[in-house]
Amino acid sequence: MVFQYKTPRRKREELRPAAVQAAEAEEEAVLIQGQAPGSKEEGRVAKALDKYNIEYTYQYPIYGGWMRGGFIVDFVLFNPFAIALEIFGEYWHSGQFTENDRLRLAAQAQYFGRETAIFWGNELQTQQAADARVRREFL
């Protein structure tokens, strides 16, 4: 038997800036309307929406939700009319739109009658950044 020594890979957390790691360590676990958030960025946005008293529904199903042909919108805000809000993080999205993303956003625009608001995960690295982004977009 031949054993090969592999150099240990750095964990994803080790590659993040120290300031971001410190901010994440201070954050407490959060539930959004009784559900665990899909990402830290979604948790930060929910806290910001709560802070500014913006009414919303988390994980809103449209066109059948989890059924074939349907999907789930991260947030639907009621300010005063319904607006879809998607958080595009680095796990599900590569930092650019795919054809699937374009089709999904077009379906959301048709369903809600207006464009979907998109927040990129790299814009939401701290709670202060999420607060500022929500304030700029919706107030």
**Predicted confidence (pLDDT) per residue in 92-115, tens digit:** 556 677 788 888 899 999 999 999
Domains of the chain, by residue range, sit at 30-138
Question: What dotted CATH number matches 30-138?
Answer: 3.40.960.10
- Beta bridge partner(s), residue 60: 73
Provide the H-helix boundaries in 5-74: 18-26, 40-51
Mean pLDDT (whole number) for 40-63? 95
**What pLDDT is stored for residue 97 in this prediction?**
73
Look up the pTM and report it.
0.76
The predicted pLDDT at position 77 comes to: 96
At 84 the pLDDT is 96
Sign of CA dihedral 22, 135, 81, 56: positive
Q: What is the mean predicted confidence (pLDDT) over 133-139?
A: 95
